[in-house]
């Protein structure tokens, strides 16, 4: 079973920040938080990952709480092309390479 | 880079037929994953390989499914005999173990078994 909990759906106005939460209360010390998204029926796309520090790349920012039991993916200026299902996954970075995908959050960006 | 290549993109077959799905990972990647996605069960990992060696096939649903990776640039997922409940989108993904382990997914093969 997935070790994460996400809201099933969210809406966001175009141009505004989209904040997608994820709970991972049973995360272990050596497990990273990964975010992927799946646009329509395409293959999932890697967005970002982190261990305990906040991370930022050209796509998004990842904010991880100090106790690491939850995190938030931030799309700073959402566009219609960001409409997708967003998956939050926790896993170790070495050894076992399995991802267990949950049901994700279906983000709809509204014009 | 062409990314992960999967073929065919669409496959329609009749129950009982053999189906072979193909995947070419990104050059230089040394892990390869096969996933299945359905509306009911979501995205499920079937099997993965590290350095062409199968590591975990616990997600393979039954003996009708088999996967091989004869070399670093090619893998197959075979279903024999196929059944209507095998209808799904099958994704292949690859990654570089020593990197950040982010996986790069192919476009998928949509399989319909009549």
pLDDT in tens, B7-45: 999 999 999 999 999 999 999 999 999 999 999 999 999
Which residue, among B2, B1, B5, has the nearest Cα to B91 in the 3D structure? B5
**What's the pLDDT at B1?**
65
Q: How confident is the model at residue B96 (pLDDT cuts 50, 70, 90)?
A: confident
- Cβ pair A31, A90 in contact under 8 A: yes
Task: Identify the closest residue of chain B to A101 by CA–CA distance.
Answer: B43
Which of A38, A93, A100 lies closest to B101 in CB terms?
A93
* Whether A101 and B42 lie within 8 Å, measured CB to CB: yes
Residues of chain A with pLDDT under 50: none
- Cβ pair B10, B109 in contact under 8 A: yes
Flag whether residue B31 sits within 8 Å of chain A, measured between CB atoms.
yes
**What's the pLDDT at B111?**
98
**What's the pLDDT at A95?**
60
**What's the pLDDT at A62?**
97
- Report pLDDT digits (tens) over B47-65: 999 999 999 899 998 899 9
φ and ψ at residue A90, rounded to 5 degrees: -115, 140
Strand partners of residue A13: A110
């Amino acid at each position: 079973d997935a070790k994460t909990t996400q809201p099933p759906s969210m809406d966001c106005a175009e141009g505004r920040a989209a904040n997608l939460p994820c709970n991972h209360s049973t995360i272990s010390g050596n497990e990273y938080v990964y975010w992927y998204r799946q646009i329509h029926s395409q293959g999932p796309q890697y967005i970002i990952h982190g261990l305990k520090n906040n991370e930022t790349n050209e796509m998004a920012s990842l904010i991880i709480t100090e106790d690491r039991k939850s995190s938030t993916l931030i799309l700073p200026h959402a566009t219609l092309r960001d409409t997708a299902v967003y998956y939050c996954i926790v896993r170790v970075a070495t050894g076992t390479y399995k991802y267990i995908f949950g049901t994700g959050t279906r983000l709809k960006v509204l014009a | 880079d062409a990314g992960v290549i999967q073929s065919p993109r669409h496959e329609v077959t009749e129950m009982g037929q053999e189906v072979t799905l193909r995947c070419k990972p990104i050059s230089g990647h040394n892990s390869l994953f096969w996933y299945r996605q359905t509306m009911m069960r979501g995205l499920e990992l079937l099997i993965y390989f590290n350095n062409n060696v199968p590591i975990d096939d616990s997600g393979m649903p039954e003996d009708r499914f088999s996967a091989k990776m004869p070399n670093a640039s090619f893998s197959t997922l075979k279903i024999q005999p196929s059944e209507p409940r095998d209808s799904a989108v099958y994704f292949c993904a690859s990654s570089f173990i020593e990197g950040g382990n982010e996986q790069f997914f192919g476009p998928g093969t949509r399989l319909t078994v009549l």
